[in-house]
Amino acid sequence: MARSWEDLTARVISGLGMVAIGLLVIWAGGHVLRLAFALVVGGMIWELVRLLTPEARKSALVMAAIAAVALLGAFYLPRLLALPLLLAPAMAGIAWVPRHRVLFLSYAALILVAGFGMVQLREVSGMGWMLWLVLVVVATDIAGYFAGRAIGGPKFWPRVSPKKTWSGTVAGWVAAALVGLAFVGRGDVGTGIIGLSIAVSMASQMGDMAESAMKRRVGAKDSSALIPGHGGLLDRFDGMLGGAVFLLLIGPWAGLPVGTP
């Protein structure tokens, strides 16, 4: 039992630091938010290249710079003109990433689109909606971590992620529902936010599974060692990628309102 909690201290300290920085960036918005997301996305692309082709150190730096500049530029263009910039780094990988190009193309596009979508959520729908998304994903992750280790039980998908359990997965849905419940009645938000929160939680878990499957394929444990107790940026934000892309796709259909919830 002691071994299952051995990374808890590092996770808590790193987690609190990321929460503090994240809240400050979300509150600041504007150029600060855009620059921060460009840097984080560039870091994730760097990890992605190093994960798929560890020997391609120069390519990793080049692709990270391309991604950061492309995303930053996309923020200052009309949306339709921004779309080619969001996909350009993934296409550039054909030349700069020597192996696993299909994986790079799909995952790089996911990272860029998710980063753009989260900033748009903050700028168009309001800070409250971005905080709601972050809270849903974080609550899903925390509940899954503690319930999975405290309760245990049947594994969710042992071939892809041997530590994930069904108890942790379901606990993540419950935690997301509670976050949604806390937002009921804010503005025009009704009880439907509870269902949307659970769906976003599921999407974040799918993002987690997708990253775990990619690491399994290339034989890696973590995407990097940038964040003590968490691994790398991809390890920490994989769920956020899944939740953000899902919300970007489903938001208009679900009637996501403009303004703080």
Tokens of 83: 């779309």
Q: What is the mean pLDDT of residues 68-95?
A: 92
Give the total residue count for the chain.
261
- Assign 215 a pLDDT band (cuts: 50, 70, 90): confident
- Assign 1 a pLDDT band (cuts: 50, 70, 90): very low
Domain residue ranges of the chain, discontinuous segments joined by +: 3-254
- In the chain, DSSP assigns E strands to 155-157, 161-165
For residue 227, the cross-strand partners are 231
- Tell me: pLDDT of 3 over 60: no
Q: What is the mean pLDDT of residues 104-121?
A: 93
Q: Which of 224, 201, 220, 200 lies closest to 212 in space, CA to CA?
A: 220
pLDDT tens digit string along 185-195?
Answer: 776 778 888 99
Half-sphere exposure of 49 (CA within 13 A, CB side): 27
Percent of residues, the chain, with pLDDT higher than 70: 91
Which pLDDT score, from 0 to 100, does residue 152 have? 76
d(CA 99, CA 96): 9
Which pLDDT score, from 0 to 100, does residue 151 have? 85
Which pLDDT score, from 0 to 100, does residue 11 have? 66
